Structure 1
């Protein structure tokens, strides 16, 4: 119920359906590595970078089957044109703030040139996503550099990962509480094999009045401490959400896209209706079928003439448990980002309060007692 740094997680407040993996994190999927660079300096820098290697750092040149879904396009994720065209992508993923997404893209290229020079010998279409941290962070200050991005990629490891105000999630807010990085996983049995579905979210969305946890509408009950509610430059509910879903279940690209669409339902369980000012962009990929998809450079230079690529995949009619896993893990990842957090003060003395965990625990407990009061 705690992160590696000892911060509480969502299960300290409520229970969840489904069976999580060992770490209840995207890194439960074999091979996945996650790294952070967190930038908290002075009064105004509250940002960072999150790096995700779907196949681990050594497997960057092996394409994964992938699909993308835009719940609302008021945001940016690079590389999705090629994902929609080919159903694949190669290399790591980086997530940061809105005005650093280009730097994140360039940083992935710099890292790839260093570690996979043959892969970088033609062209690269990296996946870099963003959410807006301008309430707490000096977003125009160019604090995220290529070196910071490379450092996050280098820092990636398997195993348990930190949550809350870390990496790209450092300066983010969710339901006008301190938000940021959250993750969860679910184990699915199919055909005598256990597969894992992991979700990582950079949660930076939602208006306070919308918040619901464990089926209890909390927005009005938690309305008393909301500095962002009276801050006019950004409409309530703005900010964005990036979700990365990874599974070791063998899937087709369109099946990955179907998983990505289910993130929407996980977010909805926490109350959001999806603001116009929130770019909610979701990517899903399958790390199964290793070596089954020819890298673009191989086909370009004739290294695999006459080859046929071949994907093994779970039948469409058997995907419901995987859809359910995405919804459950996405919901829990959002709540983990909220629970594993503390109040933060950033630029211009802007304050983002932490979710009042003790108060939420009392409300949820009362709600689940017959005749209990939730006031």
Structure 2
């Protein structure tokens, strides 16, 4: 059951047909879940569009709300405003392995990478699933990363799957969640979708959309988790606008009670499927279509609402996971059933 099945409705904008990031045409999501012994981890893959992303890049942006994180590739995204690989999410110690997988995949598609043309900027983001998984096992493999990419489809599994397998959120079991909003641009329906890897928030701080404070009755700890938000849209925006949109995801996170603590890594990556950029331009200029800034407030609202609902979906769909020393997190679904 997702958040809306529990009567938790976020905001006022209409969701897309799937209420998922895959409402943006061409976007697909896949997972590889690794569960053995005290290991509860995995990889989640977001394929932004079909085809060779290195040769036909997407306009992209990144917003670092609090930078306690070990992600890869974000510096170049921020500098150049392009995304040229799928996005992989995993645990903190799996970043390097996933980077290697993306690099090998890109070289297989475009053999001139690193030899007759530039190197490729692999984008991998992470959260620490240590409390519910033996992170020192370095369990994530390149095969897991490739399996997540190969499993990508328009139906998005949520909760304790893929990179979300061992994650915690506000003292409850966290994980993967997604949501979307529909917005009219130029007389056509467009979408903005969010996918989150939710692993943040102090126990007892969660505030539900109906005003209830959901307390798992766990011992309060310092805010030292993380959240990765990936925003996708088919609205024509440039990098500057896209970064501003990414910043509004922070409003959706904060509405639920987070305050971006010292030890929290809160990162938003966004891309648009419009305004593709060729690796090698044939001319001196590239024509782009850009939304009027006077119309951007609806997209801001969509970013905040879809991020908030994606987090709630991660919490509501999470299933029980037992980690090292028998550690487990309560389920928000159980709390909702009892209250």
Q: Residue 356 of structure 1: CA displacement?
A: 4.0
CA RMSD of aligned residues (A): 1.7
Question: Do 2:127 and 2:226's aligned partners in 1 also have CA atoms closer than 8 Å?
Answer: yes
Find the residue that maps to 2:181 and give its secondary structure.
Answer: strand
Find the residue that maps to 1:164 and give its secondary structure.
Answer: coil
Q: Tell me, yes or no, if structure 1 residue 360 matches structure 2 residue 332.
A: no
Matches within 5 A, 1:186-335: 186-219=181-214, 222-224=215-217, 226=218, 229=219, 235-290=221-276, 293-295=277-279, 298=280, 304=282, 306-335=283-312
Task: Label 1:59 to 1:67 Cα distance change in 2 as closer, same or farther (>3 A).
Answer: closer
- 2:34 corresponds in structure 1 to 39
Q: Tell me, yes or no, if structure 1 residue 143 matches structure 2 residue 142.
A: no
Find the residue that maps to 2:132 and give its secondary structure.
Answer: coil
Question: Do 2:43 and 2:163's aligned partners in 1 also have CA atoms closer than 8 Å?
Answer: yes
Question: Do 1:209 and 1:223's aligned partners in 2 also have CA atoms closer than 8 Å?
Answer: yes
Aligned residue pairs, count: 335
The whole-number CA distance in structure 2 between the counterparts of 1:272 and 1:167 is 24
Over 6 Å off, 4+ runs: none
Q: Residue 223 of structure 1: CA displacement?
A: 4.1
1:259-307 alpha-carbon deviations (Å, 9 max, x no partner): 11011000011111111111001011111124xx221xx26xxxx3x34
Q: Residue 164 of structure 1: CA displacement?
A: 0.2
Task: Label 1:294 to 1:61 Cα distance change in 2 as closer, same or farther (>3 A).
Answer: closer
Find the residue that maps to 1:287 and give its secondary structure.
Answer: strand
- 2:9 corresponds in structure 1 to 15
Question: Do 1:201 and 1:330's aligned partners in 2 also have CA atoms closer than 8 Å?
Answer: yes
Question: Do 1:197 and 1:247's aligned partners in 2 also have CA atoms closer than 8 Å?
Answer: yes
1:90-111 alpha-carbon deviations (Å, 9 max, x no partner): 1200000011111111111122
Q: Residue 176 of structure 1: CA displacement?
A: 0.9
Question: Do 1:68 and 1:83's aligned partners in 2 also have CA atoms closer than 8 Å?
Answer: yes
Q: Residue 215 of structure 1: CA displacement?
A: 4.0
Q: Residue 361 of structure 1: CA displacement?
A: 5.5
Q: Which of the two has higher C-alpha Rg?
A: 1
Question: Do 2:54 and 2:120's aligned partners in 1 also have CA atoms closer than 8 Å?
Answer: no
Q: Residue 115 of structure 1: CA displacement?
A: 3.3
Q: Residue 362 of structure 1: CA displacement?
A: 6.3
Q: TM-score, normalised on structure 1?
A: 0.85
Q: Tell me, yes or no, if structure 1 residue 86 matches structure 2 residue 80.
A: yes
Matches within 5 A, 1:335-350: 335-350=312-327
Question: Do 2:53 and 2:83's aligned partners in 1 also have CA atoms closer than 8 Å?
Answer: no
Find the residue that maps to 1:165 and give its secondary structure.
Answer: coil
The whole-number CA distance in structure 2 between the counterparts of 1:147 and 1:120 is 23
The whole-number CA distance in structure 2 between the counterparts of 1:118 and 1:257 is 31
Question: Do 2:41 and 2:164's aligned partners in 1 also have CA atoms closer than 8 Å?
Answer: yes
Task: Label 1:86 to 1:22 Cα distance change in 2 as closer, same or farther (>3 A).
Answer: same
- 2:65 corresponds in structure 1 to 71
Question: Do 2:172 and 2:216's aligned partners in 1 also have CA atoms closer than 8 Å?
Answer: no
Which of the pair is proportionally richer in strand?
Answer: 2
Question: Do 1:174 and 1:203's aligned partners in 2 also have CA atoms closer than 8 Å?
Answer: yes
Question: Do 1:22 and 1:28's aligned partners in 2 also have CA atoms closer than 8 Å?
Answer: yes
The whole-number CA distance in structure 2 between the counterparts of 1:268 and 1:67 is 21
The whole-number CA distance in structure 1 between the counterparts of 2:337 and 2:186 is 39
Find the residue that maps to 1:84 and give its secondary structure.
Answer: helix
